[in-house]
Amino acid sequence: MTHANPRPLTLSARGPLRGAIAVPGDKSISHRAIMFSALAVGESRIEGLLEGEDVLATAAAMRAMGASVERGDDGVWRVHGVGVGGLLQPEGALDMGNSGTSTRLLMGLVAAHAITVTFTGDASLSSRPMGRVIEPLSTMGAEITASPGGRLPLMVRGRTPAIPIAYTLPVASAQVKSAVLLAGLNTPGITRVIEPVPTRDHSERMLRGFGAELTVEDSPEGKVISITGEAELQPQDIVVPGDPSSAGFWMVAASIVPDSDVTIRNVCMNPTRTGLLTALRMMGADITELARREVGGEDVADLRVRHAPLRAITVPPELAPSMIDEYPILFVAAALAEGTTVARGAHELRVKESDRIATMAAALSAAGVVLEEHDDGLSITGTGGAPLPGGARIASKLDHRIAMSMAVAGLVAASPVTIDDVSPVATSYPDFFATLDALSE
């Protein structure tokens, strides 16, 4: 998972993108489906699981702690869980590869079990701070020894019984929220998370589906999510909808490549995940929702996207939590819009797989885009639909979303764009380039 052999790729402008596609299963939901199934007693079945490296790291970790997690020849994953409180001591360190979600959520699980686990990861993940998760889990009684700067490798010695807490999120982070709730699953009493700014709520929806006693209430301080500990989770049959973050690349690509017409099937439309859709529509994108429905407690729709001229906007900062992973591809849309787009309120981008603000600023500048970097985002002056100059070699910084975003930029560049390493794309979207080729035929 360390991407020891870089895979450079050069992309050139090509004709319209046309066709109907399905994107991989939602990454956030896939992680949680594996984890929660591994904590239930009995067999759960998962269809549509994202089989990228990040989710496979979660599956391997749950196996190492006693669960049976296997993929059938029919593509359905079957998980036999160990029950809440039943995680076993793994024989060795858990290699999380590039997955921050796996690391932070599993730290929460381990924190309330009587086991000691060492977490390791690749160079990118090992550069990401874990302090925001260490703080509340330590308050609950876990002993956590981290590398300098609160980074991996780190060791979590869980405590049983852990101490229930009421924790106000200092930053909008679904991962921190989920880590505390997962620690609360095996903690006597009620653990509460106060969320001043709403973030994606997949953990809450799915935990309730598995039978956890979880409530969400509004308060003057924000949403209060309460979970009653020592839970007994029941096995479930889960259908994972398409990942809106993965769909975002095609929403932007179809919007900026002339004469494109792409339908993206089965996209998760959870309202905490639709910020990019909202922003693109504000910019004038032609995106139609078809066959809206509910699948496994999540809103789902097919999205038809047709090329349309985009205009600059000031992105409402309150959209940031619902599109934090989609900012890199939004920056590409802004580079083709008419006028100057201001996209701020996204401090969180500084501590993703790469510093996504600095990395995208460097990449787009190399491709000829006029922009200004801020501490919390970018201001980008677009071409008004004219091709980007291109002719650049882009450093992806081991970041899958940077690689895919700049691949989309290459589709509208006057001169070819070379990405130094596209191998990290396998962490979330193994078939990305095959899908691009299929849409270009």
The residues that are catalytic are 325
Q: What is the largest CA-CA distance in the chain?
A: 61
d(CA 351, CA 361): 15
Has 32 been labeled as part of a binding site? yes
Residue 138, token pair as written in the block:
């330590």
Has 350 been labeled as part of a binding site? no
Dihedral, CA of residue 178, residue 116, residue 426 and residue 242, to nearest 10: -30
- Going by C-alpha positions, the residue among 372, 365, 370, 371 that lies closest to residue 391 is 365
Angle at 257 between CA 279 and CA 432, to 5 degrees: 80
Has 27 been labeled as part of a binding site? yes
d(CA 296, CA 239): 6
Asked if residue 100 lies in contact with residue 353, where contact means CB atoms within 8 angstroms, the answer is: yes
Has 28 been labeled as part of a binding site? yes
Has 100 been labeled as part of a binding site? yes
- Going by C-alpha positions, the residue among 6, 9, 12, 16 that lies closest to residue 391 is 12
Residue 360, token pair as written in the block:
């995208």
Has 151 been labeled as part of a binding site? no
Residue 150 CB partners (closer than 8 Å, separation 6+): 129, 130, 131, 134
Has 173 been labeled as part of a binding site? yes
Amino acid type, 95: D
Asked if residue 245 lies in contact with residue 326, where contact means CB atoms within 8 angstroms, the answer is: yes
Has 211 been labeled as part of a binding site? no
Has 128 been labeled as part of a binding site? yes
Per DSSP, the residues of 282-310 read HTT-EEEEEEEEEETTEEEEEEEEE----
Question: Which residues are part of a known binding site?
Answer: 27-28, 32, 100, 128, 173, 175, 325, 352, 356, 401
Binding residues for phosphoenolpyruvate are 27, 100, 128, 175, 356, 401
As annotated, the binding site for 3-phosphoshikimate includes 27-28, 32, 173, 175, 325, 352
